[in-house]
A and B are shown apart, each in its own frame.
Chain A
């Protein structure tokens, strides 16, 4: 019986590199190192949107998506909510959070209450504006669109996991003239948000947003770790393509062919440690 699957040895090295990157950067940030993360346009627009709602005397709507707290995009959405709620508390705007999961409702209440507290407006917070609607996709959306048409919120925020309902939400929000800011990691739904919303956080940006807004050091560290992973990907890709190009131009070079074979079939493939 084999104790170690040698064909996966190089994959193990890559796994260690990626995971190690996350761990090292988290530790670096924890030890007080200041690491820079760039601004994200959609996040800056949040303040403007909440401000406009305040001027117009209309509420802000926040939709944390269709999935439960066990899905990471939902957790990221709740972090964005925390930021939106703090600005809303500062501006004295109303924020409405209908959820499709009871756990999300509980988490949202905690988050918004904490945000109001940190803005020094603990007295203005009320549980009534954060509530559970239903788990079912279309009934939940029917409720949301009904609310939007009746109350005409001036700003709509969507952050979390969205499926077919993305289109209905964005279309309705557009028809009532609200500023819309969306973020999701569902690639198939991004086009509708991009086409119909004012700002969209694309894929990984949603996770970045949560880390960025949370200002928790270990979260920023993990982001840096992800960047290290992307760098690794870019280097492997660039080096590999250059070797492949050289190998194509010099078909007789045995060394180049071997190098390409090693890279594609051993390092990134199933050929074992070579």
Chain B
């Protein structure tokens, strides 16, 4: 075996041993989720049905939830499966990846597609009485069927025509509707918010004079830098003029501005990725392994109290 393989194997075994030790020998175990029962309709005397909501261990009425505990372990193992890709591509990663593709697609269809849009926005408009009797008892009694909504329905069916063996071109109509609508909306919106408003925000006095009549040097330099920066970057993006002579020099300053902009973006992106990693590690250590408890979620003294 290569030295490196040995190192990694030792790491894995040590991790496994630690897990079993934590689960078996610590007084409160780990990775358990608690729930408590609550009346669905707290103000009703007749409707006595209850539902379970999340609870903290030790809270009054808290009981262990098997499905949620299983879920927590699954979540932790999926997280580790994804991280295992860093070592090398493997069967656990591929399974996790396949599950992710399937669940995310199904979930988006069910929520954004069906229950949040088609039912309340199309069905409730076309057949309000039926929708009320079926799924939306609180839908206003006064709403009438609105035949105008047959138009999006028909357009939608045309969109689905792509699945048919022939006549796929019919899907171009709804596509044209979407593209055209958004071309119109985006044209005005981008020119308003990104073109006009950005010019307006950049119009600042190049010399800032304080109330007392004194010159504010810092603010003046800032403003000059800002206005000059925007102008030089615009020069860089100007396609009609070669980057030579004066235009070339200004464009060069423009690209320096852009590089500093990208440097800032770079640092922020790095920052964001690290924040997400830290939150995943917190999830593993806090919610799953119960090694730490900064938010005092559990009544016991944690392993690491910081």
A174-207 interface code vs B (CB 8 A; 1 in, 0 out)? 0000000000000110111011000000111100
Tell me which residues across on chain B come within 8 A of A242, comparing CB atoms: 206
* Stretch touching chain B among A76-84, A86-94, A230-238: A230-238
Contacting residue for A268 out of B200, B242, B258, CB 8 A: B200
Tell me which residues across on chain B come within 8 A of A231, comparing CB atoms: 238
For residue B198, which residue of chain A has the nearest CB?
Answer: A233
A245 interfacial by beta-carbon distance below 8 Å: yes
CB–CB B234/A233 < 8 A:
yes
Name the prevailing secondary structure of the A interface residues. Answer: helix
* Stretch touching chain A among B17-25, B134-142, B261-269: B261-269
| CB-contacts of B100-150 with A (<8 A) | 100-101
Q: Total interface residues on A, using CB and 8 Å?
A: 56
B239 interfacial by beta-carbon distance below 8 Å: yes
CB–CB A248/B208 < 8 A:
yes
A206-224 interface code vs B (CB 8 A; 1 in, 0 out)? 0010001000000000011
Contacting residue for A234 out of B192, B195, B231, B263, CB 8 A: B231
Tell me which residues across on chain A come within 8 A of B206, comparing CB atoms: 241-242, 244-245
CB–CB A35/B203 < 8 A:
no
CB–CB A18/B191 < 8 A:
yes
CB distance from B7 to the nearest CB of A (A): 22
CB–CB A38/B241 < 8 A:
yes
Tell me which residues across on chain A come within 8 A of B269, comparing CB atoms: 188, 191-192
* Cα A14 to Cα B197 with chains together (Å): 12
CB–CB A248/B203 < 8 A:
no
CB–CB B265/A249 < 8 A:
no
Tell me which residues across on chain B come within 8 A of A230, comparing CB atoms: 234, 237-238
* Cα A204 to Cα B238 with chains together (Å): 10
Contacting residue for A15 out of B175, B191, B202, B235, CB 8 A: B191
CB–CB B196/A247 < 8 A:
no
B188 interfacial by beta-carbon distance below 8 Å: yes
CB–CB A35/B263 < 8 A:
no
B209 interfacial by beta-carbon distance below 8 Å: yes
CB–CB A268/B199 < 8 A:
yes
CB distance from A143 to the nearest CB of B (A): 11
CB–CB A240/B203 < 8 A:
yes
Tell me which residues across on chain B come within 8 A of A233, comparing CB atoms: 195, 199, 234
For residue A194, which residue of chain B has the nearest CB?
Answer: B262
* Cα A170 to Cα B296 with chains together (Å): 43
Given A233-B195, A245-B205, do A238 and B231 touch, yes or no (CB 8 Å)?
yes
| CB-contacts of A114-166 with B (<8 A) | 134, 136, 138-139, 142, 146
Tell me which residues across on chain B come within 8 A of A212, comparing CB atoms: 239
B243 interfacial by beta-carbon distance below 8 Å: yes
For residue B202, which residue of chain A has the nearest CB?
Answer: A237
For residue B206, which residue of chain A has the nearest CB?
Answer: A245
* Cα A251 to Cα B205 with chains together (Å): 12
CB–CB A35/B188 < 8 A:
no
| CB-contacts of B177-211 with A (<8 A) | 179, 187-188, 191-192, 195-197, 199-200, 202-209
B259 interfacial by beta-carbon distance below 8 Å: yes
CB–CB A14/B205 < 8 A:
no
B253 interfacial by beta-carbon distance below 8 Å: no
B77 interfacial by beta-carbon distance below 8 Å: no
A229 interfacial by beta-carbon distance below 8 Å: yes
Tell me which residues across on chain B come within 8 A of A268, comparing CB atoms: 196-197, 199-200, 203
Q: What are 24 sample pairs from A and B whose C-beta atoms fall under 8 A apart? A: A11-B192, A14-B191, A14-B196, A70-B175, A70-B179, A191-B265, A195-B266, A203-B237, A205-B237, A208-B239, A226-B239, A227-B240, A229-B195, A230-B234, A234-B235, A237-B199, A237-B202, A238-B227, A241-B205, A242-B206, A244-B205, A248-B209, A264-B200, A268-B203
New A-B pairs, 5, CB < 8 Å, besides A15-B187, A244-B203, A264-B203: A38-B243, A134-B101, A191-B266, A233-B199, A260-B203
Chain A residues engaging chain B, CB cutoff 8 angstroms:
11, 14-15, 18-19, 35-39, 70, 134, 136, 138-139, 142, 146, 187-188, 190-192, 194-195, 202-205, 208, 212, 223-224, 226-227, 229-231, 233-234, 236-238, 240-242, 244-245, 247-249, 251, 260, 263-264, 268-269
The 5 closest A-B pairs by CB, nearest first: A240-B203, A191-B266, A248-B205, A191-B262, A268-B200
